[in-house]
Amino acid sequence: LLSSSVRKVIAIEESAAAVKDAAVNTDGIENLDFIKGKTEEVLKELGETPDAVILDPPRVGCHPDTLAALSQHPARRIAYISCDPDTLARDLAILVDGGYVVESMEPIDMFPQTHHVECLTVLRHGVEGRP
């Protein structure tokens, strides 16, 4: 979906099985690279600032080193998909302290008739002179 509108997509996933399945399901997409590893470690190793980031962390939220890396090498935009309001609030506070501004927030009822709710939050980095 994203690969047709950008130059390059880098997907980071800790689960080897998920990386293998994703590679099979996306066979033929040339500008897509999967990296198996912890996001906080891979971001440090990449050494480049991404234009946009999509975060979909586990219920415990993002690792503090991931949030620190995104503050040190800020992407223009972050789409943060969360399944836990408490960890979302904690992580957003860190990102806002790192210069990000919340543009929008949309709850998503992915599991009707349950108390679970997903939330998509879009942030932009507030660095002056940067789109």
Q: Which are the catalytic amino acids?
A: 83
One-character DSSP codes across 95-130: HHHTTEEEEEEEEE-SSTTSS--EEEEEEEE--TT-
If phi over 0 gives left and psi between -120 and 50 gives alpha, with beta otherwise, what is residue 47? Answer: left
Under a CB-based contact definition with an 8 Å cutoff, are residues 82 and 105 in contact? no
DSSP 3-state of 37: coil
Q: At what angle do helices 64-72 and 39-46 cross, to 10 degrees?
A: 20
Among residues 66, 65, 74, 80, which one has the least CA distance to residue 121? Answer: 80
